[in-house]
Chain A
Amino acid sequence: MSTHTHHHDNDFLFKYIFSTDHKMIAKQFLLTGTVMGFIGMMMSLFFRIQLGWPGESVPLLETFLGDWAPGGVLAPDKYLALVTIHGTIMVFFLLTAGLSGTFSNLLIPLQIGARDMASGFMNMLSYWFFFLSSVIMLISLFVEGGPASGGWTIYPPLSALPEAIPGSGMGMTLWIASMAVFIVSSLLGSLNYIVTILNLRTKGMSMTRMPLTIWAFFVTAILGVLSFPVLLGAVLLLLFDRSFGTSFYLSDIFIAGKALEVEGGSPILFEHLFWFLGHPEVYIILLPALGITSEVVATNSRKPIFGYRAMIGSILAIGFISVLVWGHHMFVTGMSPFLGAVFTFTTLLVAIPSAVKVFNYLTTLWKGNIKFTPAMLFAIGLVSTFITGGLTGIILGDSALDINVHDTYFVVGHFHIVMGLSGTFGMICGVYHWFPKMFGRMLDKRLGFVHFWLTITSAYGVFFPMHFLGLAGVPRRYYSNTAFPLFENLIDINVTISVFALIGGVAQFIFLYNMIYSIFKGPKAPKNPWLSNTLEWTTPVEHIHGNWPGEIPEVHRWPYDYSKPGSEEDYIPQTVPLGPDEKDEGH
């Protein structure tokens, strides 16, 4: 903390806009992420209308989408545009920047006992690069030819050639520009998180006294630093192929009536580079969600998280294995069968630390004393989605089985449950739990209960039936199934999915309403509303620069001393010194 930033304390511009305070930046990330999340969700509702009632005229679509849906019927290439931008927004803007950006920023300094991030300025830049990339992505919706439409995985040559699909023109260029800026944002953020966690822990906060949230953010940041630059390289080479006549990814192509002068490149190279980020990305989303829920489950079970060290071990193991499994996205690309075997092996290994985590969650609940705050409900929901979605991963990770379910709706169901739902539940869980810390006010619990039950019911209503579509052989990214007699009778599955999607979509507005209402009108938060042990609840409710008015508190114990025998209260904050005969469980 440099002293001169204090001059700007009362200046609106520097307090709310160009803030270097991690708490304000966290709120900025949350706000932007939420806006992007709702845009991404609305897109999915639009294309679900097409999938549930293919070809029927729905005037509302024309109202929202204009000439993308002439006469109320979504155009096929614009369907792909919606699918592509939905995926991009959800994966990167909501569940990477929205999730990590919000909670890493908010919690790292507060939970390790630091006055701010190692570099407040870099942190501010990280947010503004993210904001810029969001703006570029949204602008790309309005350019000629529409936004990128080749799927969020933007495989060339489809993404490289405007002749192949209109969205591969200006829209794709903006997609690449947006992602390049996004990656800069992500790197600035991640480096800051790593340095802060390693260097700025308060006295007594050893690595094995850190809350699991911090461990999760730490490993996530490392994964981000290792893998995002590879994506940057991949998309820059794609940019060269598109604009400067190179052929890294292109070879022997005949399109729009002529053969192109490209030779020697391989689209498979792009797939390798893309998934070298793409798979760790899954864990960049999942680990923070798991970290957040570990904290929430322990607090609300009034019980230590079971197997703290095993939980750290499994976070590290998952992080390590996650960079060795990218090839399981490519079993049917014609990649060497030997490589396929290696990737099957490494992929199925991920199930071991994942199983450890699940059983540790279950044991934490066992003989707990569970308070069902809305955050706790979403944490329980996450355990359920993590199991449901994780188990089908055992099928998809098996190369022999993947042959027949690859790229079908089975995959869509799998990753939406294990990554989409778990990530979203983790994020929502975090918002309910740390809303008082962010805004100094409380969310309404009743709306929270309604929100949870509607969300989990509709979520399974949307994604579980997709497994059946997949096992019936329906490929993903199909504008409609009506072209095939084979898929004719599947329409009732699609209607079911779409109805649940619409219910789930509406339910999210309850959450949005709750957030907006509570930011301004919610009851004032007490200092430690959930009676939690971690350091963030020792800071004043009103945000101040530097987090603690006086000295930074010293830490004397691990964060999970809930219901410890011998203590009157059922929680002992980390700042309370150990008793004479007391043992610190984290060490």
Chain B
Amino acid sequence: MLDLLIIVSVVLGIIALAQLIKVLELAGKAKGENSWDVTDKDNRTQARLMPVFLVVYFLFIIYQMVAWGGYLLPVSASHHGETIDNLMMTSWIIIFPVFILTHILLFYFAWKYSYDKNRRAEFFPHSNKLELLWTIVPTVVLSILILYGLNTWNNITTPVSAEEDPVLIEVYAYQFGWIARYAGEDRALGSANVRNIEGVNALGMDSTDANGWDDKIVRGEFHLPVNRPVQFIFRAQDVIHSAYMPHFRAQMNCVPGMTTRFNFIPTITTMEMKKITQNEDFNYILLCNKICGAAHYNMQMDIIVESEADFDAWLAEQKEFLPMDGKPKASDSATEEVVEEVLEETATSSIN
């Protein structure tokens, strides 16, 4: 029914349009005008619409800022994010006046210099001075932005050193979800490859690598300690994904066949952020930001930022990949048997 109505209204609209043209044409012919030559009246009307449009455009932008400004991401919850936000603000401070000024000039000139048959345009083909002016000024401004931007970029991309004792986390992406893996006591992640994926071993961990035995694997949500560097390592199982943590101003692609890295220092706990945003349900989130398939729009994992003590307590509760309680980690000949035994145990327990 709705379809029919829409189709009927479209058809009627086209007929109405055709009739309107005919009427206008006849009226124009009566006055000795044609349907294409722009008359003085047209020029006046269009010229007046120029400043009107400008005002409407600016009002629309102001409306958006007022109505939707509150939806923007809250303050950065990471250390480097603050420098990004500052750089962003600086860029806006440079961009916005340019935007306003050029738009005012554009629509003002269009209105002011509309056609008048008693006037002639000024023959002003070039001026090296002016060209130089608007080559040099943008160059200088952009140089500042480039230097500021590159400095920020270098600080962000500097690897975190082992002395800073970062939390080491692997974030693993697959269609369509995330798994996080924490390095255990040994502060090292065991090696892994998708070829090893089998049964409960969803991350394809190499069970002969002792580094991985105490790794902790979590799903659904992962925790971060506040004010301590976090070193992320990203892997993907099937297609390219992108780990996007907007509140931390952090993003890195997860690419099959290689690992990528990003590090940051969380600065605001989840509880504090609930207060800042005045939203009891607020949660930090990890989402996918590279088209990865039909459920790309729903690939999420919660992030909890908490005090280091809470974090340690939470991490201690998480299960190790291959619990080695009391069993040797040394690389003697018995190791492999032990590993197989434990793997079996893990498989059974996870089925239960």
Whether the Cβ atoms of B256 and A253 lie closer than 8 Å is: yes
Which residue of chain A has the shortest Cβ distance to B17 in the bound complex? A513
Chain A positions 500-555 with a Cβ under 8 Å from a chain B Cβ: 509-510, 513, 517, 522-523, 529
Whether the Cβ atoms of A341 and B153 lie closer than 8 Å is: yes
CB distance from B18 to the nearest CB of A (A): 8
CB distance from A387 to the nearest CB of B (A): 5
Whether the Cβ atoms of A464 and B91 lie closer than 8 Å is: no
Whether the Cβ atoms of A365 and B106 lie closer than 8 Å is: yes
- Summed over the interface, the residue pairs from A and B with CB atoms below 8 Å come to a total of 375
Q: How far is the CA of A517 from the CA of B107 in the complex (A)?
A: 32
Whether the Cβ atoms of A369 and B149 lie closer than 8 Å is: no
Q: Known A259-B195, A391-B95; judge A356-B135 contact (CB<8 A).
A: yes
B121 interface neighbour in A351, A445, A570, Cβ under 8 Å: A570
Whether the Cβ atoms of A563 and B46 lie closer than 8 Å is: no
Q: How far is the CA of A485 from the CA of B298 in the complex (A)?
A: 11
CB distance from A378 to the nearest CB of B (A): 12
Whether the Cβ atoms of A472 and B122 lie closer than 8 Å is: no
Whether the Cβ atoms of A334 and B260 lie closer than 8 Å is: yes
Whether the Cβ atoms of B291 and A150 lie closer than 8 Å is: yes
Whether the Cβ atoms of B135 and A308 lie closer than 8 Å is: no
Whether the Cβ atoms of B91 and A398 lie closer than 8 Å is: yes
Which residue of chain A has the shortest Cβ distance to B238 in the bound complex? A255
Which residue of chain B has the shortest Cβ distance to A258 in the bound complex? B197
B residues within 8 A CB of A485?
Answer: 281, 283
Q: How far is the CA of A300 from the CA of B186 in the complex (A)?
A: 74
B residues within 8 A CB of A344?
Answer: 146, 149-150, 153
CB distance from B308 to the nearest CB of A (A): 26
Which residue of chain B has the shortest Cβ distance to A334 in the bound complex? B260
B residues within 8 A CB of A150?
Answer: 291
CB distance from A412 to the nearest CB of B (A): 12
Whether the Cβ atoms of B194 and A303 lie closer than 8 Å is: no
CB distance from B199 to the nearest CB of A (A): 12
Interface centre among B14, B103, B126, by most chain A C-beta atoms within 10 angstroms, is: B126
Whether the Cβ atoms of B290 and A407 lie closer than 8 Å is: yes
Whether the Cβ atoms of B135 and A387 lie closer than 8 Å is: no
Which residue of chain A has the shortest Cβ distance to B114 in the bound complex? A370
Which residue of chain A has the shortest Cβ distance to B83 in the bound complex? A400
Which residue of chain B has the shortest Cβ distance to A391 in the bound complex? B95
Whether the Cβ atoms of B64 and A465 lie closer than 8 Å is: yes
Whether the Cβ atoms of B297 and A365 lie closer than 8 Å is: no
Which residue of chain A has the shortest Cβ distance to B111 in the bound complex? A370
A282 contacts B by Cβ under 8 Å:
no
CB distance from A20 to the nearest CB of B (A): 31
**Number of A interface residues in the complex (CB < 8 A):** 132
One digit per residue, 1 when the CB lies within 8 angstroms of any chain A CB and 0 when it does not, for chain B 125-165 equals 11100110011001100100110011011101100000000
Q: How far is the CA of A443 from the CA of B296 in the complex (A)?
A: 45
One digit per residue, 1 when the CB lies within 8 angstroms of any chain A CB and 0 when it does not, for chain B 291-314 equals 111111110100000000000000
CB distance from A566 to the nearest CB of B (A): 9
Q: Known A250-B256, A362-B109; judge A468-B72 contact (CB<8 A).
A: yes
Q: How far is the CA of A500 from the CA of B147 in the complex (A)?
A: 39
A564 interface neighbour in B6, B35, B57, B123, Cβ under 8 Å: B123
Which residue of chain A has the shortest Cβ distance to B50 in the bound complex? A380
Interface stretch among A156-164, A206-214, A222-230, A573-581?
A156-164
B343 contacts A by Cβ under 8 Å:
no
A404 contacts B by Cβ under 8 Å:
yes
A365 interface neighbour in B6, B84, B110, B249, Cβ under 8 Å: B110
The 6 closest A-B pairs by CB, nearest first: A251-B257, A334-B260, A473-B246, A372-B46, A337-B157, A442-B36
Chosen A-B contacts, 24 in total, with CB atoms closer than 8 Å, are A80-B294, A155-B290, A158-B293, A164-B293, A253-B194, A253-B257, A254-B238, A301-B121, A303-B122, A345-B150, A348-B146, A352-B139, A368-B121, A369-B121, A372-B46, A388-B103, A394-B94, A398-B149, A403-B156, A404-B249, A464-B64, A479-B294, A522-B35, A564-B123
Chain B residues with CB under 8 Å of chain A are: 2-3, 6, 14, 17-18, 21, 24, 34-38, 42-43, 45-47, 49-50, 53, 56-57, 60-61, 64, 67-69, 71-73, 81, 83-84, 87-88, 91, 94-95, 98-99, 102-103, 105-107, 109-110, 113-116, 119-127, 130-131, 134-135, 138-139, 142, 145-146, 149-150, 152-154, 156-157, 175, 193-195, 197, 204, 234, 237-240, 242, 244, 246-247, 249-253, 255-258, 260-261, 281, 283, 285, 287-298, 300
Chain A residues with CB under 8 Å of chain B are: 58-60, 63, 75-77, 80, 150-151, 155-158, 161, 164-165, 250-255, 259, 264-268, 301-304, 306-310, 332-334, 337, 340-341, 344-345, 348-349, 351-352, 355-356, 358-363, 365-373, 377, 380, 383-384, 387-388, 391-392, 394-395, 398-401, 403-404, 406-408, 442-447, 449, 453, 456-457, 460-461, 464-465, 468, 471-473, 475, 477-481, 483-486, 489-490, 492-493, 509-510, 513, 517, 522-523, 529, 560, 562-565, 570, 585
